[in-house]
Amino acid sequence: MIHIYCGSGKGKTTAGMGLCLRAAGAGKKVLIYQFLKDNTSSERILLEQVKGITLLKGPDRMRFLKHMTPEEKQELEAAYEQVILNIGSLLSQAPSADVIFLDEVLYGICRGVISEDTVAALIGAWPEKEWILTGRYEGRKLWKMADYISEIHKEKHPYDRGVAARKGIEC
């Protein structure tokens, strides 16, 4: 089935990671890739130690999209197309992954650096898998494909007061 955690609120990645831990606890194999993030999110430290969870390495450094030039965004789009193709290859070579978590993939689609058609094709090629997709997103093709959609709405957030992301809480 396909799970979507979307919206403007905090907790989309947290919900996806929780589901990954639950699946691993039940003996399922989990594959995780985090789009639009580098490899420094605190959850990675423990998740890399969990039996059954494979975290694919992303870029060592990632700038916010709003700070990227059009050329950098174009390079990122080509890189993410390759990441998605590589995930498909991994599933072909080692189809033992039961759950695939594509963190922030929906925001990448929303911002035009990830092709929704490519993601939909990847999911369509592996319908027997459990898919977790997160990010801000205006529902389109993947919205129609989804089995679960949970929208997390922000009412209030410390960032609105200028409080930066805190290690262990937001990052």
Q: What pLDDT digit, counting tens, does each position of 3-62 carry?
A: 999 999 989 999 999 999 999 999 999 999 999 998 888 889 999 999 999 999 988 888
User: Would the pLDDT of 147 be above 80?
Assistant: yes
Q: What pLDDT digit, counting tens, does each position of 53-65 carry?
A: 999 998 888 888 8
Q: Is residue 166 part of a domain?
A: no
The CATH number linked to 149 is 3.40.50.300
Helices 70-93 & 116-125 angle (0-180, nearest 10): 0
Q: Is residue 127 part of a domain?
A: yes
Torsion of CA 56, 116, 80, 169, to 10 degrees: -50
Q: Is residue 84 part of a domain?
A: yes
Parent domain of 53: 2-161
Q: Where are the alpha helices (DSSP H) in 8-160?
A: 12-25, 43-47, 70-93, 105-110, 116-125, 141-145
Q: What pLDDT digit, counting tens, does each position of 95-145 carry?
A: 679 999 999 999 999 999 999 999 999 999 999 999 999 999 877 899 999
Number of structural domains found in the chain: 1
